Structure 1
Amino acid sequence: MTQVDPTRDQFDAFKALDRDEPCEMLNLVRLRDRASYPEGHDLHAAGLTGAEAYTRYGAQSAPVLRRVGGAILWRGDYRTVLIGPQDERWDHVFVARYPSAHAFMAMVKDPDYAIAVVHRQAAVLTSRLIRCAPAATGEVFG
């Protein structure tokens, strides 16, 4: 089953959490081989790869991310699954930080983001977007 956008229940659960705390979003993204733009979109028949469409998403969403005070905190190159489903692989793995959940909500409601997210929807085969709150770091697990 592919997962590109949140369900209503998932979005409601996100909104029910403290909106004032800093919000860090773990992103795991697997791209389509070929982008799948909706019929009627200018790029529907352009033949872009998922990677090309995701690059467009990144370029168009970056100003909105900056405008709400967000940034990419960490990015890594996927290598392999050690624990988990062996059929999961990820093309993009990163953590985006927002000063608050309010800032994240402002981004997804921004009209410029609404234009950019069409590229993400066309590019992504499946994804995971996991909300976290910053916690203390150190030398122990847990």
Structure 2
Amino acid sequence: MTAYIDPSRANFDAFKALPRDEPIHMLNLLLYRDRAEYPEGHEHAGKDWTGRRAYEEYGKTSGPIFRRVGGTIVWRGAFQTMVTGPDDRRWHDGFVAQYPNSAAFFEMIKDAEYQQAVVNRTAALADSRLVRFKPSEGGEGF
């Protein structure tokens, strides 16, 4: 099974080519490592943290930057079962992050403090998905 933690160059280029001046929703699916894997010499290396604990650290350290650029969480949930999809695919958590536009997302990921914080995300995750959506109105129908 191929793990996806960071975007490929082609996927990131496709993301950058989309409109930058409209709100975006980012679906995040997370599968944590049993034990976080920090680079040697990192301040959290050797603490024997779980992947979930390392992701909590990511949230704590990246949260102020996320909020500063206008980000909010519009939905969050804990995985229960796969209804449609591969039986062997499991996620621990999922959430939808909303940004006022993709420029806000770029501002976040270019921030020097965020770049330090993202080490926690990388250490935490065995696999993930990050999918951009253009928000639209909810309602009763599909």
Deviation at 1:136, TM superposition (A): 2.0
What corresponds to 2:46 in structure 1?
45
1:131-142 correspondence to structure 2 within 5 Å: 131-141=132-142
Deviation at 1:34, TM superposition (A): 0.2
What corresponds to 1:74 in structure 2?
75
Match for 1:70: what amino acid?
A: G
Deviation at 1:60, TM superposition (A): 0.4
**Partner Cα separation in structure 2 for residue 24 and residue 15 of structure 1:** 15
Match for 1:44: what amino acid?
A: A
TM-score (norm 1): 0.96
Moved over 2 A (4+): none
Can you list the C-alpha shifts for 1:94-129, whole angstroms capped at 9, x where unaligned? Answer: 000000000011011111110110000000000000
Match for 2:70: what amino acid?
A: G
| Unaligned segments of structure 1, at least 5 residues | none
**Partner Cα separation in structure 1 for residue 74 and residue 113 of structure 2:** 22
**Partner Cα separation in structure 1 for residue 32 and residue 108 of structure 2:** 22
What corresponds to 1:124 in structure 2?
125
Can you list the C-alpha shifts for 1:30-86, whole angstroms capped at 9, x where unaligned? Answer: 000000001221222221110110010000010001100001111112110000011
What corresponds to 1:96 in structure 2?
97
Q: Percent identity?
A: 53
| Unaligned segments of structure 2, at least 5 residues | none
**Partner Cα separation in structure 1 for residue 139 and residue 42 of structure 2:** 48
TM-score (norm 2): 0.96
What corresponds to 2:31 in structure 1?
30
What corresponds to 1:109 in structure 2?
110
